[in-house]
Structure 1
Amino acid sequence: MGDEVTQTAKAVDKTQAKVAATQETVAASTVRQEKSVKRQESSALRQEESADRRTELAADRTVLAAERTYAAWMRTGVAAMVSGVGAGALLKGLVPTWVAFATSVMLVLFAQFSFIAAVWREVDTGVPPPRPDVRKLPAWIMVGFSGFLVLVAGAVLVGLWTR
């Protein structure tokens, strides 16, 4: 019976050693997991800050692109209006009068469309973009200039019509 007790004691000691080794492994693993969690949290914060900044920069690019688009529509309108006046003057005597007149009127009407299209997106922006860092041109300035040029194109049409 002493042998059995000794064997049982050895088995218990062996099991306790295994349990202690497992506990140490678990403790070491827990420490590694805690460090990993802290690194992931730090990385997530850096990533979130980076994403926020990228979003702000994208909003800035959107504002600047909208202003370039406005300028392109305005340039197109002015070029069409000038072309309408020029076409009427240059085609006079070369083609039938109605062709020169129709060409001039179509170009000036396209100019008016261009001036209206220039502010269309400014007035109807759809879903608001994130707040940009750059300042936008005031909408009243864009609408004012476009409206003025629509009136000028209208005056050009009246001038073409009455000549």
Structure 2
Amino acid sequence: MDEKSGQGESADELAGEIAGNVARQTDTADRRTVLAADRTILAAERTYAAWVRTGLGALASGIGARALLQGLVAEWLVMTTTMMLLLFAEFCFVAGIWRQLRPVLAPPETDTPRLPGSLLVTFNGFLILLGAAVMIGILTGKS
């Protein structure tokens, strides 16, 4: 019986057990780092979705403001309100894609795949063109 451990373990067995514990702790720390990186990617995607959602809300509000305010207030006020909302929508679409494709820090290795940048650019490009078409339609009086 080993006098130090009091359980009959040899020094080699104790050293092996300690090494195993250290390896498990390292694996756990590495796994926590990967999971934290996954959460960061998912948070960035939620932020991107919030920008797009806000832009779509501003786009719809601009169209609705024109429809609801026309005839109730001065035409310059209707056009100013409508254009400000539509410009804000365009800003949101640009800011959302800019923030998503230009991260501040390079993310570590993750288990979660990132959304393809080409898909995001295509989708936001369509929304920007849609907003521009609405602005042109309202400015030319074709709506």
Normalised by the size of structure 1, how large is the TM-score? 0.75
Counterpart Cα distance in 2 of 1:32 and 1:106: 78
Are 1:124 and 2:102 counterparts? Answer: yes
Aligned counterpart for 2:77 among listed residues 72, 90, 99: 99
Structure with bigger gyration radius? 1
More helix by share: 1
The number of residue pairs the alignment matches comes to 137
Q: State the shift of 1:136 in Å.
A: 1.4
Structure 1 residue runs of 4 or more that deviate by more than 3 Å after TM superposition: 31-40
Q: Which residue of 2 aligns with 1:80?
A: 58
- Alignment identity in percent? 47
Question: Is 1:156 aligned with 2:134?
Answer: yes
Q: How much has 1:124 moved relative to structure 2?
A: 0.9
Structure 1, unaligned runs of 5 or more? 1-26
Asked if 1:136 is matched to 2:99, the reply is: no
| TM-score when normalising by structure 2 | 0.85
The root-mean-square deviation of aligned C-alpha atoms, in Å, is 2.0
Structure 2: give runs of 5+ residues left out of the alignment.
Answer: none
Offset, 1:126: 2.6
Deviations 1:31-83 (A, max 9, x none): 98766544433222111100111111111111211111111111111110011
Q: Aligned partners of 2:71 and 2:54: how far apart in 1?
A: 27
